[in-house]
Amino acid sequence: MKKVFEMDLEARLVGQAEHPEALRLWLRLLTCTQLIEKQVRAGLREQFETTLPRFDLMAQLERAPDGLKMNELSKRMMVTGGNITGITDQLAGEGLVERVDVAGDRRACRICLTPAGRKQFSGMARAHEAWVVQALGGLTDKEVATLHRLLGKVKAHVKTAVTLSLENP
């Protein structure tokens, strides 16, 4: 049996007694996310020959029956518009999504999953869910709920802070 606890990002804190707990928490948050994200990226690449941003874009569309406009995708995925164009071009080239005209605004378009895209996504989503459930399998239902609630507070606080700092530069 190999040793499970290797040194990692958190190692940089050893011996720094004066660091607030918030810093320890952040490093642990980062480590957990990176560990799970690496597994998800590897799975998407090996089993589906795709990437996380491509999966994310399709996941957004799967929940939007009428599709989403480019700028809406840009906001939700937290990346700038040019990147959405690029990913959309790839997926459209493979017939997984399509651009649909928007009535009343000839500048805009909605991006929609094609039937082929919907079908492929459902397989990926199933695998993705299994990876995540496995990764978080060490927690009880109650612990999952607690984490979800507390991270909700973090998210609300950070989003507020970001908004305010953008509004008052």
Residues 75-114 that bind a copy of itself (CB under 8 A): 75-78
* Identified binder of a copy of itself from the candidate list 66, 97, 148, 169, rule CB under 8 A: 148
Q: Using CB distances below 5 to 8 A depending on partner kind, what does residue 94 bind out of a copy of itself, DNA, none?
A: none
Q: What angle do CA 95, 41, 4 make, to 5 degrees?
A: 160
Spatial strand order of the sheet with 109-113 comes to: 68-69, 109-113, 97-101
Structural tokens at position 117: 């895209």
Q: Is the dihedral of CA 100, 79, 77, 58 positive or negative?
A: positive
- Between 75 and 144, CB nearer to DNA: 75
Task: Give the CA radius of gyration of the chain.
Answer: 20
In the complex, least distance from residue 77 CB atom to DNA, rounded to whole angstroms: 7
* Identified binder of DNA from the candidate list 59, 108, 127, 135, rule CB under 7 A: 108
- Between 86 and 152, CB nearer to a copy of itself: 152
In the complex, least distance from residue 83 CB atom to a copy of itself, rounded to whole angstroms: 14
* Identified binder of a copy of itself from the candidate list 106, 141, 168, 169, rule CB under 8 A: 141
> Terminal CA-to-CA distance of the chain, rounded, Å?
53
Distance CA 32, CA 87 (A): 27
- Between 19 and 119, CB nearer to a copy of itself: 19
Residue 71: half-sphere exposure toward Cβ, Cα within 13 Å: 2
Site residues (CB under 7 A) for DNA, limited to 57-96: 69-72, 77-89
Q: Which residues are near DNA by CB under 7 A?
A: 38, 41, 51-54, 69-72, 77-89, 99, 102, 104-110
